[in-house]
Amino acid sequence: MTIVAAAATAALLAGCDETMMTQEPASMVTRAPATMVVDPGFEAQLNAFRAQNGLQPATPNAQLAAAAQLHAEDMQRQGYFDHVSRDGRTYTQRLAAQGYRSCWPTENLAWGQRSAAQAVVEWAGSPGHRRNMMLQGRVEYGLGQAGNIYVLELARVC
């Protein structure tokens, strides 16, 4: 990877974590369909990374997936790339809108990768994203994808 490509990739990856969830006003609650599509290549790559680091596998969660999918679609539709939605909501507010409660939610974003599995590889090479994927304990995840925008919500179950 060239220096320019590496810099561009780094600019298109974003990772965040928070320790507290905030309540969202009922007027801002948006629900996604209850169905969830699990990308087997992604899940295998994520859990191989976790196993290499002595961690138990992450398991899919429909509420996390709904929040991730809605955010990916919103970013694609409105042409932005950020942890904060255009309406000002943070990922913890988007998770709360789906009814998900956790003591340690995190979010990774990627844009431009060929697949969600490739996003995992690139996240693993970025300290903040890597830390998010290395949550200790029982961990659940939700993956959202819209075009080549990927949103990964991870949370430790308390």
Cβ atoms of 41 and 113 within 8 Å: the answer is: no
Structure confidence at residue 24 (pLDDT): 36
Question: Which residue has 């075009």 as its token pair?
Answer: 147
Residue 129 has pLDDT above 50, yes or no: yes
Helix (H) or strand (E) holding 36: none
Structure confidence at residue 36 (pLDDT): 52
The Cβ of residue 3 has, within 10 Å, a number of other Cβ atoms equal to 7
Residue 100 has pLDDT above 70, yes or no: yes
Q: pLDDT category, 158, cuts 50, 70, 90? A: confident
Cβ atoms of 59 and 32 within 8 Å: the answer is: no
Please tell me the least confidently modeled range out of 4-8, 107-111, 130-134, 142-146. Answer: 4-8
Residues near 85 by beta carbon (within 8 Å), at least 6 away in sequence: 71, 74, 94
